[in-house]
């Protein structure tokens, strides 16, 4: 294969990704148009009513946007105290040791577990614990879904954070040691400031992973079409309401569900874009 033919093949293959992405966006916008036209874009986003009674259909995405943001942000809060120590353990304190390799491998295995397995574990193990502790009567809700989501995103946050921690130049750390700094002081004064933007971007990408999680959240969030009043309340996320109602939806209700999918797509794309920008800045610095 000559060089021109090879380059042409690579160019055509590379075009597949933007073409598919553009096709997905086009299909979502086209199918969601009826809902946006009927309710109005901003009214659809800010309305909290979701009713499909015959002759009185009212659809609004606010309860599901709220449920998605609550579960995602709460999962991030639960994830940080576990993923950051793992990243420091693997990337700094026990770097290039057998212990770090084993811990890193075990942590990465969490990313390979199917979401349905996480959902079953949360439903049959975590939910009864929540009920036994009298945190929630039904056991399902924002809190339960967030706890399992936190476990699911730990590998994404810790692995990428560890890589950025490893990228901190040894000269900077040795300079701090020569001035009498302890290991903990080097981590606080050198590692975190230098790798901070990269660590931040890893959590941004973890948020993007949590936003689109469907099966686990559907099994644990309670699936009620209302704005959650607290973290122990039941609710719905954008992904879970689509999974629950897509099979029986038609006409305006179907268009509204696809509109929710479009909103979720845009939010996820925006967060991933921010994460990519942060990673690029971290590598340049």
**Model confidence pLDDT, tens digit, residues 261-274:** 999 999 888 887 87
* Architecture of the domain made up of 62-256+265-284: Orthogonal Bundle (1.10)
pLDDT band at 122 (very low <50, low <70, confident <90, very high): very high
Higher pLDDT, 213 or 53: 213
175's enclosing H/E stretch is: helix 170-178
pLDDT band at 55 (very low <50, low <70, confident <90, very high): low
Tally of residues, the chain: 285
**What's the number of CA atoms in the CB half-sphere (13 Å) around residue 81?**
5
Q: Does residue 191 surpass a pLDDT of 70?
A: yes
Residue 262's pLDDT is what? Answer: 92
Q: Does residue 284 surpass a pLDDT of 60?
A: no
pLDDT band at 282 (very low <50, low <70, confident <90, very high): low
Q: Does residue 158 surpass a pLDDT of 70?
A: yes
Nearest to 174 by CA among 156, 189, 186, 160: 186
**Which residues 6+ apart lie within 8 Å of 31 measured at CB?**
254, 255, 258
| Buried/exposed code over 9-46 (b: 16+ C-beta within 10 A; e: otherwise) | eeeeeeeeeeeeeeeeeeebeebbebbbeebeeeebbe
């Amino acid at each position: 294969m000559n060089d021109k033919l090879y380059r042409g093949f690579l160019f055509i293959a590379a075009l597949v990704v933007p073409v598919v992405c553009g096709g997905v966006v086009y299909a979502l916008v086209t199918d969601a148009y009826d809902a946006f036209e009927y309710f109005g874009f901003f009214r659809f986003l800010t309305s909290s009513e979701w009713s499909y009674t015959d002759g009185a259909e009212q659809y609004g995405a606010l309860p599901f946007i709220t449920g998605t943001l609550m579960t995602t942000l709460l999962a991030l809060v639960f994830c940080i105290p576990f993923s950051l120590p793992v990243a420091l353990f693997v990337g700094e304190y026990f770097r290039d040791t057998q212990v770090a390799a084993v811990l890193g491998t075990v942590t990465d295995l969490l990313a390979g577990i199917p979401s349905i397995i996480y959902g079953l574990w949360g439903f049959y193990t975590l939910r009864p614990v929540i009920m036994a502790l009298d945190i929630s009567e039904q056991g399902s809700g924002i809190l339960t879904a967030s706890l399992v989501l936190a476990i699911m995103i730990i590998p994404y946050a810790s692995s990428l954070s560890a890589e950025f921690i490893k990228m901190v130049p040894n000269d900077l750390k040795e300079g701090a040691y020569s001035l009498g700094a302890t290991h903990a002081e080097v981590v606080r004064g050198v590692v975190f400031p230098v790798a901070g933007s990269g660590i931040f971007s890893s959590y941004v990408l973890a948020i993007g992973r949590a936003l689109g999680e469907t099966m686990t959240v559907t099994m644990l969030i309670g699936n009620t079409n209302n704005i959650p009043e607290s973290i122990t309340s039941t609710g719905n996320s954008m992904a879970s309401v689509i999974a629950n109602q897509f099979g029986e939806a038609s006409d305006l209700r179907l268009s509204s569900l696809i509109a929710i999918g479009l909103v979720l797509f845009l939010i996820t794309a925006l967060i991933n874009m921010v994460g990519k920008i942060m990673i690029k800045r971290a590598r340049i610095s």
